[in-house]
Amino acid sequence: MTDGPQRAGGRGAAGSPATDGAGGRGAAGSPATDGTELPKTYDPAATEERWYRTWDARGYFRAVPDAARRPYTIMMPLPNVTGELHIGHALNNGVQDCLVRWQRLRGRNALYQPGTDHASIAVHVVMDRRLAREGLTRFDLGRERFLEEAWKWREQIGQTILGQMRRLLLSCDWARTTFTMDPGYSRAVAECFIRLFRKGVIYKGKRMINWCPKDLTSISDLEVEYAEEQSTLYYVRYPGAPSRPVPPGGGGQAGGSEGIVIATQRPETILADVAVAVHPEDERYRRLVGSTVLVPIVNREVPVIADRRVERDFGTGAVKITPGHDPLDYEIGADHRLPVLIAFDPRGRITDLGGPRYEGLDRTEARRLLVEDLRSAGLLIREEPYVTNIGRCDRCKTVIEPYISDQWFCRMKDLAAPAIQAVRDGRVRFHPERWTKFFLDWMEQIRDWNISRQLWWGHQIPIWYCACGEMIASVDRPATCPKCGGAAFTRDQDILDTWFSSALWPMATLGWPGETADLQYFYPTSTLVTARDIIFLWVARMIMFGLEFRAEVPFRDVYINPTVLNIEGRRMSKTLGTGLDPLVLIDRYGADSLRFALINRCTGEQDLRFSEKMVEDTRNFANKIWNAARLVRLHLADRTPEAGAPERDAVRLAPNRWILGRLARTAGDVTAALESFEFSAACRRLYEFVWNEFCDWYLEMAKVDLAHAAAANETRHVMSWVLAQTMVLLHPVMPAITEEVWQALPHDGETIMRAPWPDASRLWADAAADAAMAEVMEIAGAIRALRAEMGLSTQSVGVSLHFGPGDRDRIETVRSYLAHLVHLDPMRLEVRGIDEHPRFGIPAPCGAGRIELHVDSPELRAKARERFAKQLASLDREQSGVMRRLDDPAFAAKAPTDIVAADRARAAALTARRETLRRYLADLAPSPPA
Taking only Cα atoms into account, the Rg of the chain, rounded to an integer number of angstroms, comes to 38
Per-residue pLDDT tens over the stretch 145-169: 999 999 999 988 878 899 999 999 9
Question: How many CB atoms neighbour CB 452 within 10 A?
Answer: 25
Burial, 576: exposed, middle or buried (Cβ in 10 Å; 0-12, 13-18, 19+)?
Answer: exposed
Task: Provide the angle, in degrees to the nearest 10, between the axes of the packed helices 591-599 and 582-589.
Answer: 120
Percentage of residues in the chain having pLDDT higher than 90 = 68
262 or 833, which is more confident: 262
Question: Nearest-CA neighbor of 346 among 240, 211, 232, 246?
Answer: 211
**The pairing of beta strand 380-393 with beta strand 178-179:** unpaired
CA distance linking residue 202 with residue 545, whole number of Å:
13
Q: Which of 370, 374, 344 is nearest to 357 (CA)?
A: 370
Sequence-separated (6 or more) residues with CB below 8 Å from residue 462:
190, 193, 194, 473, 474, 475, 492
Question: What is the rounded CA–CA span in Å between residue 168 and residue 579?
Answer: 18
User: Residue 890 burial (CB < 10 Å; 0-12/13-18/19+)?
Assistant: exposed
Q: 840-872, pLDDT tens digit by residue?
A: 778 888 888 888 888 877 887 788 788 888 888
The sign of the torsion formed by the CA atoms of 493, 497, 502, 504 equals negative
pLDDT of 347:
93
pLDDT band at 794 (very low <50, low <70, confident <90, very high): confident
Which pLDDT value is given to residue 255?
Answer: 42
Q: Is the pLDDT of residue 31 over 60?
A: no
Alpha-carbon gap, residue 385 to 362, rounded angstroms: 23
Least confident span in 19-33, 40-54, 907-921: 19-33
Model pLDDT for residues 683-692, shown as the tens digit of each residue: 999 999 999 9
Comparing 511 with 580, the larger pLDDT belongs to: 511
pLDDT at 790 (0 to 100)? 81
Furthest CA-CA distance within the chain:
129
One-character DSSP codes across 485-508? ----EEE---EE-HHHHHTTHHHH
Assign 223 a pLDDT band (cuts: 50, 70, 90). confident
pLDDT score, position 900: 87
Is the pLDDT at 365 greater than 60, yes or no? yes
Give φ, ψ of 461 to 5 degrees.
-60, 130
Angle at 125 between CA 120 and CA 368, to 5 degrees: 125
403, HSE (Cβ side, Cα atoms, 13 Å): 22
For the beta sheet containing 275-278, the strands, ordered from the edge strand earlier in sequence to the opposite edge, are 292-295, 300-306, 275-278, 318-321
Q: What is the pLDDT of residue 581?
A: 92
β-bridge mates for residue 387, sequence order: 230
State the average pLDDT over residues 203-222.
90
Q: Say how far apart CA 820 and CA 624 lie, in whole Å.
A: 20
Average pLDDT, the chain: 89
- pLDDT, residue 65, reads 97
Whole-structure pTM value: 0.85
For the CA atoms of 372, 373, 376, 378, the dihedral, rounded to the nearest 10 degrees, stands at: -110
pLDDT tens per residue across span 761-780: 888 889 999 999 999 999 99
Per-residue model confidence as pLDDT tens digits over 283-335: 999 889 999 999 999 999 999 999 999 999 899 999 999 999 999 999 999 99
